[in-house]
Chain A
Amino acid sequence: MLNKSYARDALQRAVSTGGDFAELFYEDTRSSRLSQTDDKIDTAITSRIHGVGLRVYQGLRSVYVHSSNTDYSGLMKLADAAAGAIGSVRNAASDIHLVGSVVPNVHRIEQLPMDVPGEKRAALIRGICRAIKSESSEIAHAMSSLWDWEQHVTIANTEGMFTNDVRVYSRVSATAVASKDGVNQTGSASPGGMIGFELYETQVDPEAIAKEAAQQALTMLHADFCPAGVMPVVIDGGFGGVIFHEACGHSLEATGVAYGNSEFCGKLGQQIASTKVTAIDDGTIPNSWGSENIDDEGTPTTKLVLIEKGILKNYMIDRFNSRRMNMPVTGSGRRQDYTFAPTSRMRNTYIAPGDDDENDIISSMGNGLYAKKMGGGSVNPITGEFNFAVGEGYLVKDGKIDRPVRGATLIGKGGQTIMKIDMVGKKMWMAQGMCGSQSGSVPTNVGQPMIRVTEMTVGGRK
């Protein structure tokens, strides 16, 4: 843990050349990863990340320095490096008084992953691989990984903050490869949470995720290529929420908005989406993959309404960009680890449940594509152009699911696509992902009920 008086000395020195704010982020993280391929456990790795990042602001300038040396001399060296980059004249800075505060933990952990015996962890992924294989003789490969980490952070700043938090994450993955006549198709499922090993006893059924991965691979193995063209698209709930994450979520982060680099700049209070769309970014959901007690700047996380019935309500704002935007922070400052300066990021982001019946959504669509399971995607926030892969898709003919298709990609521009959402289902659920951006890779949830987009460009090989 970071010594309070060391922190005070380092912060004081960091602002001694004209800086108006400084913040220390100390981290000690232990992680472990266990993987099995087919019938053998082939990876077992444990590691420790340890270091400190120091940020100093002077107006709209930001200096970030970090090091894995966290003793007193290391902290002072960092402070000098940051102060030297801000200015050359040393002034006597006013005294900083750090006040320790205890953050209430809303994410109860029953079994710390680090305390779970290796054999018990191994048994879990062994069972998953076995279950994947048992689905069909067409399953060529089964893989499963167990990944967990425990991050201890201390955040201190020149406004007097001195606070600690512990984040415990657990995640398991099941990946199936189905193969026939030289053709391979992949299916996967990878649930996780800000939770301990109890995840696998209370929320996740290992057999069920094995089956889900295997069935996806098998379905796609027997699917034909997707035809290309413009058509109505129904996107199912859960990981389908990646469409909102990519198409809109990134463009609502201050990282782009503060610099005019987003199609949603200056549109607060305006209609940016169809009236069917209410979207929320919530960092407070207990034990949820994208949650935290406090963000990586020490601000308590919030439940933030981004869009309400199509009207833009809020952006996600971190501390640095809040200065440029003259708007308050939203508890959205996140970073992969101490080697990254934090910036505004999504947490658990979802489209809220609507009032359309799921059966009606498909039966009234005519001919189009039903994307049951989405793959990943990416977006250019400046232009809003996004793309994402359909992991498991079906062609719909006269309102009826006709046959599976593979290799489909959905592309579009965020602002146009969310205007074209004409139906939103009743049942919402979320799925886990790792989101990569300026401050590294962080756990985020995406979610939505089943939605329909009146027309989208579908890429395919036919």
Chain B
Amino acid sequence: MNREEFIKKLFEGAARAGITECEAYFSDGESFDVDVLDGEIKEYSVSESKGVCLRGLYAGRMGYASTQVEDESSVDMLVEGVKTNAMLLETDEGESIFEGSKEYPQVDTFNESILSVSPETKIAQALEMEELVKARDPRVARVDGCEISTAVREIRIVNSKGMDVQGKSSSYGAVVAPVVIGEDGKPGMDYQFSFSKDPDKLDIAGLSQKAVDEAIGKLGATSVPSGQYECVFRRDAAGQLLRTFAGVFSGESARKGMSLLKGREGEKIASDCVTLTDDPLLMDAPATGAFDAEGVARFSKDVIKSGTFMTLLHNRLTAKEAGCATTANASKAGYSGKVAVAPSNMFIRPGEITPEKLYAQVGDGIIITQLQGTHSGANPISGDFSLAAKGYLIEAGKQGRPVEQITVAGNFFEILKSIKAVADDLEFDMPGSSAIASPTIYVGTISIAGI
């Protein structure tokens, strides 16, 4: 059965079953991945994936069902699933299917040339990257992952209200994880990745160099005495921290009473140097796209503007309940998930000084470069965290010796208020449908546990 026929049958079946409004969300993808080790291909994978989720209103409630098979039997399974699930729901929030935006922004998320790069070229790039890593420093022992991967993804949302939107994106990227051995025989490692929609933007030489230099830089790291330290979160760790607590900006968390920011629009919640923006139209950023998971045309907005809290992120339902307009931040965790809320490309706007100048401002303190266990050592509601970390000392205004086996503890909301300076080094690196990043930030005094 071709897709148009499937959609027709699905909508007919839904209408017959008494589903008053419905929407099908299709996700199709193709990906390629090659990982090399010691000059040979270690793993090679090619995949094709598809999935469809039907959601629909039955007796005023929105049921969901999904499958990876598009055939006659799936029509029944999806329609029945939507109906049965809707009947179990007790929420009575007046959910509805969207009729479509009048206009959609133009975004450039797909580079056709990705399709013409041969597997041989990608394999050669992975092999070259391994060579570059090994050649960079004699202390490199091996790689624990040296991958080139490409992906093409298509989303189509079509509904009974006449909306039919689709978007296509490409991603071409590399991941490299060198393992280095120090003079004391102890291992160290680092991993770096880089993704872009354009194949020719990939800089494997730069990436290899960065990964090796980071791994070498951390060799010989030791702990520090427990105490209060002047603290900088380098851009990678600052991004991790922001990702960990991104849920506090969600209108959905707020609606469930699980965000301390509920109803605090207009309040000063961060220091003046903090502007937090959610921009789904940013050029060549990972989460760029013209419409959200409900098909609403996306746009850029400030969540925090010069320290003042401007808005929560909303989908149509959470906006309706909060009495405002959607911010077009409807999201879905995979094709099968319920429509929820998530940032697109969300980032703290960069300042004007380099990280080095920022270290000079600090004088003596600590740079956190990596947080560990963010899924468990942080309370996403209260903002409290206590996390294992790595980094470097700042000695007399300069980056000093590497530090490990420490934990850093604090509160996200307090940190927002205490940020003293924001550097100029914003960079998106992680791929994903929700991309969160930050420049390096100086957060003031923080509690560190070590020895």
Contacts and interface: CB of A to CB of B under 8 A. Distances in A.
A459 B226 CA distance: 9
Interface string B38-55: 001111111111110100
Tell me which of A37, A39, A121, A411 has the highest count of chain B C-beta atoms within 10 A of its own C-beta. A411
Interface residues of B, number: 76
Contacts of A457: 223, 405-407, 449-451
Tell me which of A38, A81, A119, A184 has the highest count of chain B C-beta atoms within 10 A of its own C-beta. A184
Given A85-B119, A409-B386, A387 B88 contact: no
B88 A44 contact: yes
A382 interface: yes
Contacts of B377: 375, 377, 387-389, 409, 459
Interface string A39-51: 1111111111111
Contact of A68 (B51, B186, B188): B51
A377 B376 contact: yes
B67 A122 contact: no
Given A118-B88, A385-B404, A388-B376, A44 B50 contact: no
A64 B179 CA distance: 25
Interface stretch (B255-263, B347-355, B420-428): B255-263
A60 B42 contact: yes
Interface string B346-387: 000000000000000000000000001101111101101111
B166 interface: no
Nearest to A375: B376
Contacts of A140: 257
Given A61-B40, A388-B376, A459 B409 contact: yes
Nearest to B30: A67
Nearest to A436: B375
B226 A50 contact: no
Contacts of A226: 386
A69 B68 CA distance: 9
B407 A45 contact: no
Nearest to B80: A46
Nearest to B382: A184
A379 to B, nearest CB: 9
Contacts of A185: 379, 382
Contact of B68 (A49, A225, A261, A462): A49
A459 B47 CA distance: 43
Contacts of B404: 385
B66 A259 contact: no
Interface in B74-113: 74, 77, 81, 84-91
A141 B382 contact: no
Interface in A367-396: 375-378, 380, 382-383, 385-389
Contact of A389 (B51, B88, B260, B386): B386
Tell me which of A44, A50, A177, A226 has the highest count of chain B C-beta atoms within 10 A of its own C-beta. A44
Interface string A191-235: 000000000000000000000000000000000011011100000
Contacts of A386: 388
A164 B43 CA distance: 26
A64 B84 CA distance: 37
Contacts of A293: none
B388 A461 contact: no
A376 B388 CA distance: 13
Contacts of B386: 226, 389, 407-409, 459-461
B320 to A, nearest CB: 15
B230 interface: no
Tell me which of B47, B338, B386 has the highest count of chain A C-beta atoms within 10 A of its own C-beta. B386
A409 B388 contact: yes
A104 interface: no
A388 B47 contact: no
Contacts of A182: 260
Contact of A385 (B50, B144, B372): B372
Contacts of A41: 88-91
A412 interface: yes
Nearest to A69: B48
A341 B43 contact: yes
A50 B407 contact: no
B49 A339 contact: yes
A65 interface: yes
Interface string B62-77: 0111111100001001
Nearest to B85: A44
Given A51-B68, A177-B381, A185-B382, A383 B43 contact: no
Given A62-B43, A382-B187, 13 more contacts: A42-B90, A44-B86, A46-B81, A46-B84, A48-B69, A82-B46, A228-B449, A261-B144, A339-B47, A375-B376, A411-B388, A459-B409, A460-B409
15 contacts: A34-B88, A48-B77, A64-B44, A68-B51, A69-B48, A81-B46, A141-B256, A377-B376, A385-B404, A385-B405, A409-B377, A411-B406, A459-B388, A459-B408, A460-B386
8 shortest interchain CB distances as A-B pairs? A459-B407, A228-B449, A387-B388, A376-B376, A44-B85, A387-B373, A64-B45, A409-B386
Interface of A: 34, 36-51, 60-69, 81-82, 85, 118-119, 121-122, 140-141, 177, 182-186, 225-226, 228-230, 259-261, 339, 341, 375-378, 380, 382-383, 385-389, 406-409, 411-413, 457-462
